[in-house]
Each structure stands twice: as structure tokens, then as C-alpha cells.
Structure 1
Amino acid sequence: MLALIFGAMIYATLLSLVLLSFIGLPLLLIGLLIPACRRRMRRQPLHFAALAVVCVIFVVCTLWKIHSDDQLGKALHPELEQDVQLDGLPLPAGAKLNLGTLEPLDSQGQPQPHGLRSLYYAKFAAPHTINGVEVTELQMYGSGPFSKMLLSRDQVVAGWPCAGGTWVTLDIADEDRLQPSRWRFSSCTLVTGADVAGVKWPSSSEVSQYDGRFSIDTIGLASPAVVIQGIALSDLSLDLDERRQPGRWNGQLAQDLTLGDWHYPRGMRVRQDTPGTLMFSPSKSDSAQNLRTGETLNAGRSIQQRREGGAVLWVKPNTGLGVLDW
């Protein structure tokens, strides 16, 4: 804490001296033009000379620092004048780049990627093809699913119909940064109306990959409602296996639904864990009702029914079912 306070005091002192120097040096020069001030300076030449030297030193050092930072900024943000091939990554002329560092050694004295090899952002003057995908921007931030490409148009990426003007997220290991053929698909926004796994997905739906499996999720309330197995939902999350075959899903009803003797209002949470069954989970704001007996099912319990016929398989507390009460 003391070190931070001491550092802040030094910084504030230096900043004050710089500001005073930029003010003081012009005032001294102006004083030389005024007879009364000039006579006073002649009476105390050493005093004013020392003051002028200090001002000049601070002004020159500050201007040199500004110039150095500007030169470094230009070096770290070049615009390519000709095509460049970085291992497996082609970069076209006109691309505007952001580089991480120009230093060949890191703070521990170890070799590190530098110059063009420390590239972490590129903006292309025209759509540019990387690994068969047309993009306008590329971002590479660290190892893992943090890198992105901005699609120039609707196109198929890793077998998924991804929307133009949106980002494709990539999982890139540090050693594969300049090898696009080794980049792994992580997620993208689907083309509006794309038919995937028997569902027509609304705008802003996103497909993601994790450990070889996939999930597709609507982002926000679906408009129009997304329909799966004849059920209209205001939001939907669908899991797919390694072969991209649909599995479990969950969402919220976009309209009232009656299944067997039970009636479920709009907004009711619904989930399919196994084919042919549906599980409904009331929240504090809505409840299910048995139309035959008048029984109600409130928050804290869930009911599972067969999709065909609506036979009730069980009614259980949410504990252990992976259902949050809200």
C-alpha cells in the first residue's frame, strides 16, 4: 500500500513539473522580450539560467517520449504494403495489423513471438479467405476459445450455416496461432431461419462446441417462436452429440399447452431428457393445473409425462433434477 502511495506521489510530482515546464519555458522566452523582465534576468542570470535548463530538460524529454511512443505505436500497428505469408496464415496487402510486441525476449529473458508473429488483430481491406472462410477481421487473444473471425457473408463454417457480419469463435492453441488448418471451431451465430436438427432457428441463435459435443441456443426471446416437436417455445437450448444428432433440450412455452389432463401456461419451463417424454417445471410466477381434478403443481416440484397421450410418469421435488426454483 505504501509503495502505491509513494508511486502515486512521484507520478503526481513529475506530472506537475512537466506542466510547469511547458508553461515556464514560454514565459521565460516572453520575458526576454520585455525590457523590465530582461533587466531582472540580467541581475540574477544563474537563477533564471538554471530554471530555463530545467524547463528545457523536461520539455525535451517529454517531446522525445511522445515521439518514441508514436513511433512504437506505428510499428505495432502497421499496414501491409504487400502480401505476407506467416507460416500457414496468409495476410494480404492493405491489411491493418495490431502486434503484441517487437521485443524478442519477454520480461524473464525468454524468447517470445515478436513482430508479425505476435499478431493479435487484423482488419482486411477486402474480404479475405482464411482456411476456406471469407472474413473481414481476425482477432487472436490467448490460448483457448477466445479468438474470432468476422464473417463477410453468410457461409458454412465447420458444417454450420453461420451468419454474415457476425463472429465465429475459434479455439486456438498457442503453438497453432499461425496454422489456420489446426484452428478448432468453437461457436457462431446461425443464419436466420437455418434448419438444423429439425428446427428452424430464429435470429441470434448460436451454436457452440464443447468437448466434441454441440449445443444450439436462442439468445433472448425468440421472435418468431421456435418450434420443436410441434411445441412453440420462446427460448430453446438443444444439445447435440458428436454426430450432431439431437438429444435433450429445454426451453419455455411460447403459448399455453395442454398435455393429457394437465394444462401449462405460457412461460412454463419444459425439458426433454429422454425421447418421448416431457418434464414441466413451474416457477413462482406460474403453476400447472390438472383439468380433471383441479390439482395444481407449484414451484419446487416437476412433472414428467409421455409425449404421446400425456400419461404421468412421476411428480418429484426439484432437488436432484437440475431445476432451479425461481
Structure 2
Amino acid sequence: MQQWRLTPWATFSTARMLALTFGAMMYVTLMNLVFLSFIGLPLLLAALLIPTYRRQMRRQPLRFGALGVACAVIVVCVLWKIHRDNQLNKAHHPQLEQDVQLDGLPLPAGAKLNLRTLEPLDAQGRPQPHGLRSLYYAKFASPHTINGVEVTELQMYGSGPFSKMLLSRDQVVAGWPCAGGTWVTLDIADEDRLQPSRWRFSACTLVTGADVAGVKWPDSSEVRQYDGRFSIDTIGLASPAVVIQGIALSDLSLDLDEQRQPGRWRGQLAQDLTLGDWHYPRGMRVRQDTPGTLMFSPSKSDCAQNLRTGETLDAGRSIQQRRESGAVLWIKPNAGLGVADW
């Protein structure tokens, strides 16, 4: 007879399922007790006011007395926990009555704060920022200036490197025209959480129509910084066409160097384009890796066609041409070109 043996993983899964089932049963039982206590205690008190029920309760004082005490204990414990949680919640979400200076971070009166912890020691008994120094969110009653930037909200993620400020209006941040009502993302080291002068710009949404690197950027375009360099991206194919070097593109991404000079860019044609002998339909992927050249990459839904010979270029290969003359420099498989086949 074949014998079946449970694997360690199956045994663990079974034990976990039993533990979850037991925990759910205990939770339901506890909730039922609380529910019945909040109903039972008022009913017992009301019964004492009715002679018929009061006489019946006097005949069994121990039973009804124990029931009343049990209900009262549960009700008192629940109400005490609700009160304690409410007090703790208020302590974690204070509203400042006067201006406060946290190292280099000023906080104005009226600011509503969210604090991570009130405890000076963490679970391992190590010192940790607590109270106001554990701030992770602030909402200001009116626009408040932090490091020269007017904001209405501040989000600080504690152990994470990134925080955000909500701009009160259009303004220049770290040299970028950022849109009001959007978030500026900041790269903040743990030791610099309360030192705004050391916060480093990471990203923001550009003002609609901002002229950056010779391009007028549409609504919701984002600039990001990484390793001292920058990139600007339009968001989604539904964004308006962007013209760069005379070519209308959708879904444009432009790289800039440390001096914010434009370099590589990539996108999809917003309208048909003919370059030299080759015709490219709307939606064709195109990018510039080096000045004066363009690389086109067909996908499964579109292909390029040579108007002179009738040759087609399908998905899996890319073509590079000179921007001015249209001369073909090469046609290569996508492998090694950093182009995904789709």
C-alpha cells in the first residue's frame, strides 16, 4: 500500500491554517462577548426598574450578579481602551499652539503634525527620535516657507531616503520651474531630516508649458535627478505632442548632464515621418544617442518601409540614420542595442 507523507512545507501550511482558524474563532468570540456586554448591561439595569423582573433577579442573586459584574468589567475595559487610544492618537497628532524650531526646521503655530512615536527607546532598547523629532507629516494652516520654498504640506518618511513637499504655487525649486499644487521629492539622509539646507532635490512636476532644454513641456511632465544627472519625461501616450529638433513626439524622455545640457532622448513619433528613403508611421519608436543621428525601432504593430526599394523593416531590428541627410549608418538586430522587442 502506498503511503502518503506530508512535506515540511505542507505541515507548516496546515499548522498555519489551524492557527489562523483558531485566531479567527477567538476574535469572533471576543467580539460577541463585547457586543453582548454592551447590550446586556443596560438590559440588566433596566430590569431592576421593573418589579416583575426585579423579583425574579432577587431569587437568583448570584447568577444575575455575576452576569452584571462580567458585563460591567468588559464594558469598562473597552471604554478605557477607547479613551486610551483616543488620548494616544491626540498625542501622535498634535496641533502646534506656537512656533517651534526643530534644529534647522521651523514649524509654525497652527501646523497639524503626525508623529511616528513618543517612546525614547525602540523595541531593541536603543535610543530613537521621538516626540516632535519623529515627525513624518505636517500640514500647515497657511503657506509656510522651508528653505526658500513655499509649501502647504511636508511628508517625511523616516527610515526612507525620500520626502516630499507640496508646493503652494508655481515656483523655482533647485533651478527647476515646478508646478504649484504638486509634490517636490527630496533626497534626505537620516541625519539631515531636520536640516532643510542639506535636503537634495530629487524630482518635481514642471509648470505646464515650461521651456526647458529648448522644449516646451506639456502638463504633468516630470524632472528627476539621479547621480547628479537629470531626466525629463512626459507622462503617458495621451500627453500632448512635444516637438524636439523639429520632430513631434509622444512619451518623450530627455536626459540632461550635470550642467543640465540636453543629451540622449527617446520617444514615439506623434505623426508620420519620412527621413531619406525611409518612411516611419506614427507610433514608431525613435531615439537619439549621439547628436546628428536618429535610431528607429519598429514594433510588432508597425514597420518602416523604404519608399525607393519597397523593403520593410519589421520588429527585431533597428535602423540608424543621419539627422540631416537621412543617410543610413546601419541596420542591426535589437540585441545589444538596449531595445525591447514588442
Aligned partner of 1:210: which letter? Y
Distance in 2 of aligned mates of 1:192 and 1:143: 33
Is 1:121 matched with 2:128?
A: no
Equivalence for 2:276: 260
TM-score (structure 2 length as normaliser): 0.93
SS of equivalent to 1:7: helix
Shift of 1:145: 4.5
The amino acid that maps onto 1:315 is: I
- Select 2:113's aligned residue among 80, 93, 97: 97
**Stretches of 4+ aligned residues off by more than 4 angstroms:** none
Following TM superposition, by how much is the alpha carbon of 1:13 offset from its aligned partner in structure 2, in angstroms? 2.0
**Which of 62, 65, 68 is the aligned partner of 2:81?**
65
C-alpha displacement at 1:37, in angstroms? 1.3
Deviations 1:253-291, CA, capped at 9 Å, x for gaps: 011100000000111000111111100001111110000
Structure 1 residue 105: deviation in Å?
A: 1.1
- Where do 1:145-156 residues align within 5 Å? 145-156=161-172
Q: Where does residue 163 of structure 1 map in the other structure?
A: 179
Is the contact made by 1:145 and 1:169 (CA closer than 8 Å) also made in structure 2?
no
What amino acid sits opposite 1:77 in the alignment? H
Q: 1: CA distance between counterparts of 2:75 and 2:124?
A: 33
Q: 1:194 to 1:222 in 2, by over 3 A?
A: farther
Amino acid at match of 2:305: Q
State the shift of 1:51 in Å. Answer: 0.5
Q: What corresponds to 1:31 in structure 2?
A: 47
Shift in Å, 1:11: 2.3
Paired with 1:19 and 1:110, the residues of 2 have a C-alpha distance of 40
Please give the per-residue CA displacement for 1:143-181, whole angstroms capped at 9, x wherever unaligned: 444310000011111111100110001111111111111
CA positional deviation for 1:81:
0.7
SS class of match (2:259): coil
Q: CA deviation at 1:12?
A: 2.2
Aligned residues: 326
| d(CA) in 1 for partners of 2:143, 2:336 | 50
Q: Secondary structure at the match of 2:79?
A: helix
The answer (yes or no) to whether the contact 2:281–2:304 under 8 Å persists in 1 is: yes
Structure 1 residue 186 displacement after superposition: 0.7
The one-letter code matched in structure 1 to 2:56 is R
Matched AA of 1:292: R
**1:139 maps to which residue?**
155
2:251 aligned residue (235, 247, 250): 235
Distance of 1:31 and 1:39 partners within structure 2 = 10
Aligned-pair CA distance for 1:221: 2.8
1:318 aligns with 2:334: yes
Aligned counterpart, 2:263 = 247
In 2, are the aligned partners of 1:284 and 1:299 still within 8 Å (CA)?
yes
- TM-score between both structures, scaled by the size of structure 1: 0.98
Runs of at least 5 residues in structure 1 that lack an aligned partner in the other structure: none
Percent of residue pairs bearing the same amino acid type: 88
Residue 29 of structure 2 is matched in structure 1 by: 13
What is the correspondence of 1:287-326 to structure 2 with a 5 Å cutoff? 287-326=303-342
Of 94, 102, 107, 1:86 maps to: 102
